[in-house]
Chain A
Amino acid sequence: MNDIDPRTKLIQVLILSTLALIYNKLSLLSLILLAAIVIALLNRINLLSILIRLKRLVKMIILIALIQSLLTKTGNPIFRIGNFTLLTDYGLIKSLEFILRLGIIIVSAAIITTSSSREIIQGLIQWHCPYEIAFMVSVAIRFLPIFKEEMTDMITAIQLRGIDLHKVKFNKKIQVYKYILTPITINSVIKAKELAAAMEMRGFRAYPQRTSYMVLKMQAFDYIIIGLSIAAAFLFFTFQ
């Protein structure tokens, strides 16, 4: 299924994320997540390796959900210490909803990553999205790993100057991260300016009509998948 058109995947992801935002019942969100997982598996995505790669984000999501459940006071108490209600059924349901919703969004993002950023941008252009906007999206996607690498390099450089981030206290660690925030922002602005200059020099927007080396063509299979996805979403919407 990796050969399907990126626009087909975009439609699937659009449907999944819209449903995740519309509904807030645990059972329905679980069903949507299940559907997202099935689509991801059909796209031969290794969800386990993605979970491992995103373990910090997963930990943060669980932590936020835990805080949310502990701070929600409405509903029937499940766990109390003296007069203090620590956990209610409503708080627990809300935090589970939050986890499921973000799970759907993460799996949807994983589905999109089976197409290259170039293919996705071409899909957007062929959907008559203005080239400038599509190009901005493409630049943002391409630059994300570069910024990540830059951040990693800076943290490595700081450690190689003898600051052991594993040993310093949490507040000191925050101080280090705060310290590198300004240089990272400045570097980003410099990179953006250099990129803009390079684009101007290569005649970006010199002609109103652009041709493209890559042209995407929807196959019958794509139309079947889109049809099935819309039908499934409609059925879900009608019979939920």
Chain B
Amino acid sequence: MNNIDINNISYEYHRGRQIFNNFSLQLKNGETTFLTGCNGCGKTTPTKLIMGIIKPTSGEIKIFGKRADSLSLGSMGEIIGYVFQYPERQLFSSSVMDELTFPLIFKGYNKIETFEKAKDLLKIFDLEKVKNSYPSLLSYGEKRRLAIASVLMVVPKYLILDEPTASLDNHRIDALSDVLIELKNRKIGMLIISHNKTFIEKHKDRVIKLEGGQIYE
């Protein structure tokens, strides 16, 4: 069964620059798919289309059998974990700890369990020392780690990571790799945009290259 079905979608930006014309892509259960391609070729666009942040001009996207346009951003966020290309754009809290815990506590999750989970993730991503800092004041690598950790506060059904290794040192890439292996063991499918060849080689089930609005396996 496919987690995500993108069928014949077209998309163009406001200025009439067409990025995709009849673009199709199927992402399967438990499979780690890497999306590669040159800078500016539109790798981030399909991820935004999947998440419903932008809407296709035509075609259909199905998420676990449901039409994506019938799901709100909130419902989508409960199914798919999404790490933005620019992590600072997805950090909205006044402290690192809040960033991890606020959505769950807001939704009424158990506070003690939420904080325990947050502490675990702070340890995994080496963010314990900065847990009370403002996310905006963190280094780029720390922001990236925090963005990934915040998405993993709830185990999603699918995970999309846009350049997760950018600005991370080798030690932190290894820590991220361990988390991804654990998620893969739980049969969680992933779509990862990356240019890091070693990282791709380590985790790939499938590699697709985007060029001129079409994919090549």
A183 in contact with B77 given A160-B82, A163-B106 (CB within 8 Å): no
**In this assembly, does A200 line the interface, its C-beta being within 8 Å of a C-beta of chain B?**
no
Q: Which B residues contact A (CB, under 8 angstroms)?
A: 51, 53, 72-78, 82, 84, 88-94, 102-103, 106-107, 134-137, 150-151, 153-154
Q: Which A residues are CB-close (under 8 A) to B78?
A: 162
CB-CB under 8 A from B74, the residues of chain A are: 159-160, 162-167
| Partner-contacting stretch, out of A14-22, A136-144, A174-182 | A174-182
A157 to B102, CA, bound (A): 12
How many residue pairs link A and B with beta carbons under 8 A? The number is 77
Q: Count of A residues near B, CB < 8 Å?
A: 25
Residues on A close to B: CB < 8 A? 150, 153-154, 156-167, 172, 175-176, 179-180, 182-183, 186-187, 190
Pick the 4 closest A-B CB pairs, nearest first: A164-B74, A159-B73, A160-B77, A161-B103
Q: Which residues from B are CB-within-8-Å of A187?
A: 88, 136
Cβ–Cβ contact B75 & A179, under 8 A: no
A167 and B82 CA atoms in complex are apart in Å by 21
In whole angstroms, how far apart are the Cα atoms of A182 and B77 in the complex? Answer: 23
Q: Find B93's partner among A159, A164, A165, A183 (CB 8 Å cutoff).
A: A183
Contact among B53, B75, B134, B153 for A164, CB-based, below 8 A: B75
The answer to whether B90 and A160 touch across the interface, beta carbons within 8 angstroms, is yes
Does A156 lie within 8 Å of B53, measured CB to CB? yes
> Binding site of B, secondary structure by majority: helix, strand, loop or mixed?
helix
16 contacts between A and B (CB under 8 A): A154-B89, A159-B72, A159-B77, A161-B151, A163-B77, A164-B72, A165-B74, A166-B74, A167-B72, A172-B106, A179-B92, A183-B93, A183-B94, A183-B135, A183-B136, A190-B137
19 more A-B residue pairs beyond the given contacts A153-B84, A161-B151, A162-B78, with a C-beta to C-beta distance below 8 A: A156-B73, A157-B89, A160-B51, A160-B74, A160-B76, A160-B90, A161-B103, A161-B150, A162-B77, A162-B107, A163-B77, A163-B106, A164-B72, A164-B75, A175-B106, A179-B93, A183-B94, A186-B136, A190-B137
A149 nearest CB neighbor, chain B only = B89
Contacts of B92 on A, CB cut-off 8 Å?
Answer: 154, 157-158, 179-180, 183
The distance from the CB of B130 to the nearest CB of chain A, in whole angstroms, is 15
Identify which of A160, A166, A176, A182 contacts B106 (C-beta below 8 A). Answer: A176
Q: How far does the alpha carbon of A111 sit from the alpha carbon of B88 in the complex, in Å?
A: 35
Bound CA–CA A183/B106 (angstroms): 18
Nearest residue in B to A188 (C-beta to C-beta)?
B136
Q: Is the pair B94, A157 in contact by a Cβ cutoff of 8 Å?
A: no
CB of A190 within 8 A of CB of B136, answer yes
Choice from A156, A157, A172 contacting B91 with Cβ under 8 Å: A157
On chain B, the residues within 8 Å of A180 by CB distance are 92
A45 to B94, CA, bound (A): 42
Complex formed: what's the CA distance from A111 to B53 in Å?
Answer: 31
Distance to closest chain A CB from B136 (angstroms): 5
Bound state CA distance, A16 and B75, in angstroms? 47
With a CB–CB cut-off of 8 A, which chain B residues contact A186?
A: 94, 134, 136-137
- Give chain B residues whose Cβ lies under 8 Å from the Cβ of A161: 77, 103, 150-151, 153
Q: Which residues of A contact B88 (CB under 8 A)?
A: 187
Contact of A163 with B107 in the complex, beta carbons under 8 Å: yes
> In chain B, what residue has the closest Cβ to A164?
B74
Contacts of A182 in B (CB 8 A): 94
Cα distance A166–B94 when bound, in Å?
24
The residue that A179 contacts in the complex, of B77, B102, B150, with Cβ under 8 A, is B102
